[in-house]
Amino acid sequence: MTPSQSESARLDAQMAFLMEADRLKAITRATRNHDGRFENSAEHSWHLALFALVLGEHAPEGISVERVIRMLLIHDLVEIDAGDVPFFGEVDEAAKTAEETAAAERLFGMLPQAQGADLLALWHEFEANETPDARFAKSLDRFQPPNLNLASGGGSWDDYNVTHDVFEARMGPKIRHGAPALWDWLAPRVKAFFSRR
């Protein structure tokens, strides 16, 4: 059996998108896995989706775990064109936003029109960080790296000379924003880690 013309054309576009997505496996992040290797953005996206699957009960009410998982699966694809921005690094925010928006339009634009528009909207929702789903997803994206740093004994905190005060001031609000229960669990563990140094 041959797929119908339109199904085949849709598959051509979708497979081109999925094989382009393969390039996310080559984008290196500033965070280290617990074996010390720098994490790539594809395995990071998997890890975050698993965080959402397991930790959904700790989200503020009214979120959809399924939508959060979808967001997290696609949230870093823009890095294929725009690269990863280390959280404790320096960046021109406006230029970065423009670069990532262009990347999202190119990548999701490879898909059949309505499907691409849906995923582009989901990515914009994530970036805007306003809906409960986006807030929880963004907070998970901030919550995972400190846990890897605890597991690897310092990780990116050492690479970027991050102190406990800087961590609390810069990361605390971002994790609390969408996942206060996770921050309450994490904060004393990070404090204890830095106090032992």
Kindly list the residues in this chain that would bind a second copy in the complex (CB under 8 A): 1-3, 7-8, 10-11, 14-15, 17-19, 21-26, 33-35, 37, 39-40, 42-43, 45-47, 49-51, 53-55, 57-58, 66, 69-70, 73-74, 111, 115, 147-148, 151, 180-182, 184-185
Q: How far is the CB of 180 from a second copy (least distance, A)?
A: 7
Question: What is the spatial distance between Cα 194 and Cα 148, in angstroms, rounded to a whole number?
Answer: 14
Q: How far is the CB of 95 from a second copy (least distance, A)?
A: 27
Residue 164: both structure tokens together: 């406990």
Q: 13 vs 85, which CB is nearer to a second copy?
A: 13
Q: 86 vs 112, which CB is nearer to a second copy?
A: 112
Q: Residue 28's beta-bridge partner residues?
A: 40
In sequence order, the 6+-apart residues with CB closer than 8 A to the CB of 161 are none
Using alpha carbons, select from 78, 93, 66, 71 the residue that is nearest to residue 41: 78
Rounded to the nearest 10°, the torsion over CA 49, 68, 41, 95 is -170
Q: 95 vs 106, which CB is nearer to a second copy?
A: 106
Q: How far is the CB of 174 from a second copy (least distance, A)?
A: 17
Q: 75 vs 93, which CB is nearer to a second copy?
A: 75
Q: How far is the CB of 170 from a second copy (least distance, A)?
A: 21
Whole-angstrom CA distances from 20 to 9, 74, 102, 193 are 17, 13, 15, 40
